[in-house]
A = this chain, B = another copy of it.
Amino acid sequence: MSFLALRRLFSQVKRHHLEFLAPSNQHGCKYRMISDAVSFTQRSHTCGSLCKDNVGQKVKLCGWLQYNRGTQFSVLRDWTGITQIFTTSKQKEFQDLMKSIKHESVLCVVGKVKSRPDKDINPNMATGEIEVEVEEIEVLSQAEPLPFPVSEFYKISERIRMEYRYLDIRSKQMQRNLRIRSKMIMKMREFLANKHEFVDVETPTLFRRTPGGAKEFVVPTQHHGKFYSLPQSPQQFKQLLMVGGIDRYFQIARCYRDEGAKPDRQPEFTQLDIEMSFVEREGVIQLIEEMLQYSWPEDCTQIVTPFPHITYEQAMRLYGTDKPDTRFNMKIQDITSSCKDCGVTLIDDKLQKDNGNVVAIKVSDTQRILSKKCVEDLKTDALKALGDIKTVVIPIRVLDDGSWQSPISKHLSDHVRINISNDLDLQPGDLVLIAAGQNYSTYEVLGKLRLFIADYLESKDIQVREKDVFNFLWVTDFPLFLPKEGGEGLESAHHPFTDVHPDDRHFLDTHPEKVRGLHYDLVLNGSEVGGGSIRIHHSHLQKYILEQILKVDISELEHLLKAFTLGCPPHGGIALGLDRLFAMICGTPSIRDVIAFPKSHDGKDPMSKAPATVSQCELDTYHIQVKPQQSS
């Protein structure tokens, strides 16, 4: 039947706008959608939208055959839901047809909506009050036997899910995830472009290699020996747009990073990239808070603004990490002064060194579950994860009679014991872990142990973290430079374009390692979901930091340094990692569940078999050849 004939046929059917409640996820997210989901198509309605109001209407439904029930009944599915269709005993040819086709075949059914007899009403089904009496059936696509039943796809190994991704996407979970993602991005755009006059600018992804861009993919060109690079972010372009007077920029930007085989990273990923002129840190922070609130899915636990702030130093001292999970307490406490000259050699030795310290966390009421062996294992894991071979971790258990069970208890004087006990407000049943060592390493070890213990307890069904909350947190006042990993000198903690904290400018020449930057990170439930900074907008300062402090070759950044000399507004911005954010909102542990066609952890696509070999003839266009494989 042609489109126009169909339009005529259904002209008498009032096209109801769809008002559909998508299935809720584990956080109870759902969207109320009021828009037309069948316009321009052959369908008159979707499979999830029919109800009592439609009884008596002639409808045309298209969808996948979910299953047959007996000879008379079948269930048709699309992303909005399912509808039961039925044939009368006189319609033998339809019944034979339905019997002959496989699940997941695609059908077009024309029929009349009928009320179900009272006894057959299904209150658990959105369309459970009606069914459709078939008048015509067209098999649009015959399905062959499936590798696996679609409804059970989530039980299958991820590799198989990825190989048959198009089947996986039919699952309720993937439909929900991809649609939540699309809706929320749209709301972010509305907030930025329509409400706050941001300009959506598409920046190039074929760019030149940037200094230190070791993780950038290269793209050979037809110019001999010349390569584009796929940038890790539009950082330079967005700063140049500020110089160009596009004073409020945003982009949902595709970015690239070649990290080989890192789990839960993708070679291409998406960030919401934002930059503004004439803004200070608090302006960017307020913008992001209002935007998240505006775009947050209606039926998720709502978020409260303003988000709390914490400095880098506070975060390290309380949580042993710069991305604290604040859904539970168990904070780190400094007990150095109580441990001075305590008589335990292990501890005393540490305290004699520069910046030696002793810190502790307390786990209440869990001695029964956290056995001696278990604590020992978690401790080993934490030290191993950090590559820490110096920090000493010692457990103390407070027994019912108030006495301590610990390798060190016999060495401690009552005085020291009482001081520690007071510091930590110890009660019978408490387990304490103390770490002795230098600098932040003690904090980092306990920070890691804090998370491992929480995970362990939750694996034993003891709730540690608050449920269904989204704890956002701003972390500020990061150091601007860090000692270069495995080498002399300093490197940028984030990137070389972050401006100097105004209170620390006097340190720049003499103690650059003491300088804090105007960087801010956005942390959600212990994961970093965004980061940004106020940028340097003076050419001479940018040059000084690049050349004198970071010792990098500035020839690759000359265009940027030049731009800063021709009228550059002060500016700052931020980027949010959308894959991680949506994974958390959708309540799934893997970012692959919110990406339509992700790569596996080794950067391969099991469906299309990318990456693939390319003939030398094709490589000749790009003047390159593959090097022989080393046998070593």
Interface residues of A (CB under 8 A from B): 2-4, 18, 33, 35-37, 39-43, 62, 64-65, 78-79, 104-106, 108, 140-141, 143-144, 146, 164-170, 174-175, 178-179, 181-183, 185-186, 189, 193-197, 199-209, 214, 217-230, 236-237, 240-241, 243-248, 252, 254, 256, 258, 260, 267-268, 270, 276-284, 286-287, 537-538, 556, 559, 563-570, 595-597, 599, 602-605, 607-614, 618-627, 629
Contact = CB atoms under 8 A, between A and B. Distances in A.
Shortest 4 CB-CB distances between A and B: which pairs? A169-B244, A208-B610, A226-B611, A104-B567
Nearest to A285: B40
12 contacts: A64-B245, A104-B566, A141-B537, A166-B563, A182-B199, A182-B200, A205-B254, A220-B220, A221-B611, A222-B260, A225-B613, A623-B629
A417 to B, nearest CB: 47
A219 B625 CA distance: 13
A50 B220 CA distance: 51
Contact of A218 (B42, B65, B220, B225): B220
B197 A2 contact: no
Given A179-B199, A236-B608, 6 more contacts: A144-B566, A169-B240, A186-B193, A205-B254, A219-B230, A225-B613
Contacts of A181: 200
A219 B217 contact: yes
B611 A241 contact: no
Nearest to A62: B278
Contacts of A64: 245, 567
For A42, A202, A567, which residue has the most chain B Cβ atoms within 10 angstroms?
A567
A365 to B, nearest CB: 43
B42 A279 contact: yes
Contacts of A194: 35, 186
A243 B339 CA distance: 66
Nearest to A626: B225
A247 B623 CA distance: 42
Given A40-B286, A42-B278, A178 B199 contact: yes
B40 A195 contact: no
Contact of A41 (B168, B207, B225, B276): B276
A366 B568 CA distance: 54
A41 B279 contact: yes
B245 A37 contact: no
Contacts of A167: 243-244, 566
Contacts of A277: 41, 62
A273 to B, nearest CB: 13
A203 B596 CA distance: 7
A566 B146 contact: yes
A221 B79 CA distance: 37
A267 B280 CA distance: 37
Contacts of A208: 605, 608-612
A608 B193 CA distance: 28
- The listed residue with most B CB atoms (<10 A of its CB), out of A202, A222, A236, is A202
